[in-house]
């Protein structure tokens, strides 16, 4: 489909896809880690000052 340039084009899209996939994974995993840590703190009865006032 891309003739002699197929390797360059596929490599470009491959690198881009891999980088974007890593970024998406990073934000998802980081989000789950933070949500889990927050839930554990709250389960132990530790609340933010603003939450305690409410």
Residues that bind other proteins (CB under 8 A): 1-6, 8-9, 11-13, 15-16, 19-20, 22-24, 26-28, 30-31, 33-38, 40-41, 44-50
Q: Report how far residue 19's alpha carbon sits from residue 13's, in angstroms, rounded to the nearest whole number.
A: 10
- Report in angstroms how near the CB of residue 17 gets to other proteins at its nearest: 9
46 vs 1, 36, 50, 51, CA distance in Å? 60, 14, 12, 10
- Report in angstroms how near the CB of residue 41 gets to other proteins at its nearest: 5
- Report in angstroms how near the CB of residue 6 gets to other proteins at its nearest: 8
**Tokens 């596929």, located at residue:** 10
């Amino acid at each position: 489909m891309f003739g002699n340039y197929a390797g360059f084009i596929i490599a470009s899209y491959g690198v881009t896809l891999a980088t974007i996939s890593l970024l998406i994974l990073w934000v998802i995993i980081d989000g789950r880690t933070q949500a889990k840590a927050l839930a554990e703190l709250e389960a132990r009865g530790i609340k933010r000052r603003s939450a305690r006032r409410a």
